[in-house]
Chains A and B, each alone.
Chain A
Amino acid sequence: MTSFNLFSGLRPLLRNRAVIVGLVILAVVLLAAILAPLLAPHAPNKLSIVNKLQPPSAVHLFGTDEFGRDILSRAMYAGRISLLVSLGVVALSTVLGVILGVAAGFFPRLDTPISRLLDAMMSFPDILLAIALVAALGPSLPTVIIALGITYAPRLARIVRGSTLVLREMPYIEAALTLGLPLWRVLTRHLLLNLASPILVQATFVFASAMLAEASLSFLGVGVSTDMPTWGTMLASGREYINNAPWLMVFPGLAIVFSVLSLQLLGDGLRDLVDPRLSKER
């Protein structure tokens, strides 16, 4: 009764239609990315100038770009990096944001120093801060994730701090304290569980922002690397051809849209799952 059974806990999730749709989309996107070396019809970087800017056809399902490279294959390979960066950024910024936000919201003494730190970070434009961090750490996949994770942490921390301030005054938190529960238990079980909705909503925003920010970093030459495509860089380089060859932007754009959508659907389902009041089961 006190333990949370993972399987029986997740079963209601699978009865939610939106969650199923989200899971299917995410599975397709993830599989396409992971299995890109097996599934991709062409090599992602193979140039073929005679075939440049071909519209979608049976040979090139998504068409070709300005160097005649197959967009479907490139989009599949690009997903590997884009998804890795975005998920990594979401994970890192959520962990950082929750720690900072709960600390600032729950312990009044830490509020001022942490909040001022967050203000200082948020006073820089996102990209500028990320560029500065990548420049300091040196461009590579992990540093891009770390830089963007730090950049987006204040967004989550702000939301978490605000919600913590409200929840700290709730009688059930005070009741947990007067019951003599250890502080970590009050924070993890009573506070964090009730913070899930705002965190999930904000995390999906960060996921989408990170994907585009990674593109900006690559565009500015401080991104992951130049030889492997990402959805962001494909969008950026396709911009010049938007009028003549819109498929250069449409397909990587759709990839971003569908991965964000799948995460949002999953996020909504997860939120309902942790909130018994919203669950239709009860």
Chain B
Amino acid sequence: MNALLHPVLKPGTSQGPVFKVDRLTTSFRTPDGWRPVIRDISFHIDKGETLAIVGESGSGKSVTALSAMRLLPRDRARSEGRIFLDGRDLLTLGEAEMRKVRGGRIGMIFQEPMTSLNPVFTIGNQLAEALVLHRNLSWAAAEAEALRLMDRVRIPAAKSRLHEYPHKFSGGMRQRVMIAMALACRPKLLIADEPTTALDVTIQAEILHLIRELQREEDMAVLFITHDMGVVAEVADRTVVMFRGDMVETGATDALFARPREPYTRMLLASIPQLGTMGATPGPRRFPEVDPATGAASEGREMPVVTAGTAPVVEVSNLSIRFDLPQGRIHAVEDVSFSIMPGETLALVGESGCGKSTTGRAIMRLQNPTAGSITIGGRDIAYMNARDLRGLRRSAQMIFQDPFASLNPRITVGSAIAEPMLAHGVLEKRAVRDRVTQLLEQVGLSPDMASRYPHEFSGGQRQRVSIARALALEPQLIVADEAVSALDVSVKAQVSNLLMDLQASRGLAYLFISHDMSVVERISHRVAVMYFGEIVEIGPRAAVFGNPRHPYTRRLISAVPIPDPARRGTRIPALASEEARSPLRPLDYVPPKRRYDEVSPGHLVQLP
């Protein structure tokens, strides 16, 4: 009906955008009626172009993509506006036609490659299935095409891997398979919803590179959804910034990064942790304080360095943790040694599965070591009885990654914070209440929040509650296992600053376990890099980041996306080589004794 206002393009013609969203509003049904979650979204993507939608959790970026695919449940969500693919309005199509569009004209890849492949079918079978369904190929032809697709997404030795099951593929390889599936029917548009968020940073770089190359070869339009400004800078031609369901700003990516107009965009850009902003500063440095009203940032204060001459809070020596399985032995942690001083942050970095969390869990005695010793406050925790172990709980505490799962949903946060104090009998009941108030204030929450339940808090607030709970017993050491990884960028900076402030005021020692190199660079005094259960490089932060010696450390640092569109495409990651490498070894395997070279004082690098 609006043919004049919105000229309908003939399918297949090259002019005009491939994909166009026009005044899209999607509402969800709530007990109080329909509530819009995204309002008045308009954008378009041309052939061969990448548009990124960027925003924090709850900004509506995924809802936008799901609306475009019409994947939201019909009875609980409705979309108004128009969504054109090649001139056809997708919102007016019938469900049968829409099914042809999905997977046919629009390909989609999701965040979680580990769970999006069916474990009981081979990779080749799952790839061929899509081809048989959408392109009416015979199974034999489909398998041949599947092989071609696996070559296209650069899976090494594709022919032999075609008949393997998903569990033999690493996360990155699985995401390649997912991309191959999305490409199977030569879609006009590829929607990538946080495709690299669950992947390690070195693999993220490879996948982003692959998507860029494929886009060039196929001349596809790509809609890229992400929360990571670094990734936006790497991939997007144009960018849409979303905030709480509204489009805040849109424009060419380089212009948006160089001259953000809206305060929210400025704030988002200012809170991105950036690598290489520290120089030779010896201590950590707070993240810039960003004024949400103007988006103006002021560089953070430098934090104190560790005073020499004190005894370490925790000493880990020659720690090994192995798990025996029927088919072999997992060497999760192998001959790891380090110590942490009061007031010091040691960051333990590495990719998923490298043993960094297992090390942290061993320090908390959530995991028993196979060999080696862990000494906290001069006592070996391996030989502690139940009573001494409770004493240990007072000196060492842990903050977990998932702020949604680490608080009991049925207990108010006030009770959760009070509980350890009551259980250890450190304070009288009346004093506990005051202490809870005080702790909540210290972590930047209001004391009257004590009577609320965890589900009433945002992710960042919950993590503050977890920190308050960990502080309740006044520990000397806190093991922070990916404590800020699940948080939005602006919140990530705030919680990291809180951790640094608490360290400065209380002389806390942190074991900061993280895969996020840019946060680690800000927050830590020293860094240990783990790779397949071993520490390959350890030293003062400035030395490890400024002068990385081990090839793996270099790879890790160079793979971090740089939020600067001008440098896009200048860094080509090393060719995909990764197999599903695992620390699984035969039962009689004896790991070689590693030797280390001292590059500079305290900076040790594993010798090959």
Shortest C-beta distance, A23 to chain B (Å), equals 23
List CB contacts (< 8 Å) of B374-408 with chain A.
Answer: 389-390, 392-394, 396-398, 400-402, 405-408
A174 near B408: Cβ-Cβ < 8 Å: no
List CB contacts (< 8 Å) of A231-282 with chain B.
Answer: 274-277, 282
A181 near B423: Cβ-Cβ < 8 Å: yes
Give A185 to B418 CA distance when docked, in angstroms.
14
Question: What is the chain A residue whose CB lies nearest that of B402?
Answer: A171
Q: Say yes or no for A179: interface residue by CB 8 A criterion.
A: yes
Give A277 to B404 CA distance when docked, in angstroms.
13
A171 near B410: Cβ-Cβ < 8 Å: no
Across-interface contacts of B429 in A (CB, < 8 A): 2
Across-interface contacts of A181 in B (CB, < 8 A): 419-420, 423
Selected from A2, A172, A176, A190, the residue in CB contact (under 8 A) with B422 is A2
Across-interface contacts of B456 in A (CB, < 8 A): 282
Across-interface contacts of A177 in B (CB, < 8 A): 366
| Chain B contact residues, majority secondary structure | helix
How many B residues have CB within 8 A of the partner chain? 42
Selected from B398, B418, B453, the residue in CB contact (under 8 A) with A282 is B453
Across-interface contacts of B398 in A (CB, < 8 A): 174-175, 178
| Chain A contact residues, majority secondary structure | helix
Selected from B366, B410, B424, B451, the residue in CB contact (under 8 A) with A178 is B366
B466 near A180: Cβ-Cβ < 8 Å: no
Across-interface contacts of A170 in B (CB, < 8 A): 405
Give A56 to B418 CA distance when docked, in angstroms.
62
B415 near A1: Cβ-Cβ < 8 Å: yes
Give A276 to B400 CA distance when docked, in angstroms.
22
* Binary CB contact string for chain B from 423 to 453 against chain A (1 if under 8 A, 0 otherwise): 1100001001100100000000000001101
A194 near B466: Cβ-Cβ < 8 Å: no
Q: Say yes or no for B352: interface residue by CB 8 A criterion.
A: no
Number of A-B residue pairs having CB atoms within 8 Å of each other in the complex: 92
Across-interface contacts of B393 in A (CB, < 8 A): 178-180
Give A24 to B469 CA distance when docked, in angstroms.
43
Kindly state the interface size class of chain A when it binds its partner: 20 to 34
Shortest C-beta distance, B471 to chain A (Å), equals 11
Across-interface contacts of B418 in A (CB, < 8 A): 1-2
Across-interface contacts of A275 in B (CB, < 8 A): 409-410
What residues of chain B have their CB less than 8 Å away from a CB belonging to chain A? 364, 366, 389-390, 392-394, 396-398, 400-402, 405-412, 414-415, 418-420, 422-424, 429, 432-433, 436, 450-451, 453, 455-456, 466, 469, 472-473
Top 9 A-B pairs, shortest CB-CB distance: A180-B393, A171-B406, A179-B420, A276-B453, A171-B400, A172-B408, A180-B390, A171-B405, A181-B423
A-B CB contact pairs (8 Å), 25 listed: A1-B451, A2-B414, A2-B422, A171-B401, A171-B402, A171-B405, A172-B406, A172-B408, A172-B409, A175-B400, A175-B407, A175-B466, A175-B469, A176-B408, A178-B393, A178-B397, A179-B423, A179-B473, A180-B392, A180-B423, A190-B408, A190-B411, A276-B410, A277-B409, A277-B455
